[in-house]
Structure 1
Amino acid sequence: MGNIRYLIDDKNFSDFNFELLYITKSKFENDWHSTAHIHPFMEIFFITEGNGAFQLEDSIVNVKENDLIIINPNCLHTEKSNLNDSPLEYIVLGIGNFSINFFNLNNTKFSQSDIKTYHIINFKENSSNILNQLNLIIDEIKLKNYKYEVACKSMLSLFILNILRTTPSVSILQNEKKNLSLECAKIKNYLDAHYSENITLETLSTLSYMNKFSLIHTFTKQIGMSPISYLIEKRINEAKSLLETTNYSIKDIGSIVGFSNSSYFSQMFKKQTNLSPKQYRFQKSSY
């Protein structure tokens, strides 16, 4: 009797220790409100019909049928549809404990800080396979047969492998940093959206249901700076943009981005950039 044994070389499957949080079918209608937001987990969108646009960080990207949009944890985003022509329809997966690297594994000149937080792939040639895999997951959840959770995890693994195998420019992201906790993600999202308002530690403590000590400790550990330092950095970055693109007075810009005192604004701006707001504007206008 002849035997051929096939061995699995690498038995470490820690890269695939993700979890399916949800899968949703959505269709844009007139009552849809698009609000930019973040999640402490990955989302993968597959456009099944229509066209529209995604806000992804600071970019607006057009999307169409058969586009697959991968959004890594903590990427600011929202979806917008072309309601008058062809309303956007999509299936979206929420996936915890997982991130994807959007550079080729052989490209070593990029650091972790350079890694993009989103990527769009068009699956025109393989769209039926992608859609079938997603519908199988949905059907499994609908039926809820014995150990359907295990089946969904296996199907999700095959779905992600399909993406990785057919797209050379993506790979599993080996990142020592853990995804943000829900509390930190909520605070960061709030600061990104409300930076121009009067925000105190008490405000953030109430928002996150954490005492101030725990809030500062947790946020600093995960973000790399305290909540107030993050807020100041956000305001300064917004001020830079206004100094470069508008003729607003320095006093008005300080007020617009959330500084109640123009002297304090100038002090913080110089601390962050080594230039006064006036010097920064002059430098940028002379390029």
Structure 2
Amino acid sequence: MKSNYGYSEFNVEPYGTENLQVPLQVNCCGYDYFLSKSTVTTRQKGRLDYYFIYVIKGKIEIDITEQSFSCFEGDYILLPPHTAHKVHYSIGSAVYWIHFTGKCASDLFTYNHPHKLGLHHEILEHMKTIISELQTRKPYYQDYCNGYFWLLYSSVKRHENTFDEDTIMEELILYIHENLHLIKDVNELSEQVGLSPSRLIHRFTAYKGISPIRYLIQERLEKSKQLLLQTDMTIQEVADQVGYQNQLYFSQAFKKHTSYSPTAFRKSNLN
């Protein structure tokens, strides 16, 4: 694991510090890259401060009370104080994080679920500067950290409010076309884009007019038509190419879609 971090003089590990006498206080900030092995961090009682995690590479899984969330590259999540959590860092994942407290802190972000943000150089630079200030602790470093925290917060909210979910849907459609034969269910699609299954179904249906699974089936069958007419593959080979391991199930789905069996469709269009 590769790490870089800094702590303020007020921070107390491993649970952090709560200070509601000041508007804002940055306790610590850092970067972790889990290069060669996965890692799990568990805090059964949480921390005393707020915990902001920004995923810049790979994927992490976060368990909060009875809920589990996947956070992908470009996502962030905020955990409030006293929140029990377990974070699973997959191999190759990398995150920036910051712990903060203060009487203004509770009004800054919404808690306990991932937010789509994207990767932004300015956000990384703000966090790197905070790390540097905490490491060197030059005069008035805490004021500098607070100032850069407000820049960080403003950048996050600006980019969060302009993030376009239609772009996610476009990327998902490309993913579906490239992986017709591999996709198993809507949970796999939701993990791919970092949305909950219910949110994905709602957004995709609004974007395309049909659910993601109905779209997947439609595109599989359209692809199978091309293969039946443009290749000499057997019916089983065509079924395999579009994600149906069972030839009978494929034939039933194909007939429901076209009113022809695969064999009849091929014959009627080649004659």
Q: What TM-score comes out, normalization by structure 1 length?
A: 0.42
Q: What TM-score comes out, normalization by structure 2 length?
A: 0.45
Q: Name which one, 1 or 2, has greater alpha-carbon Rg.
A: 2
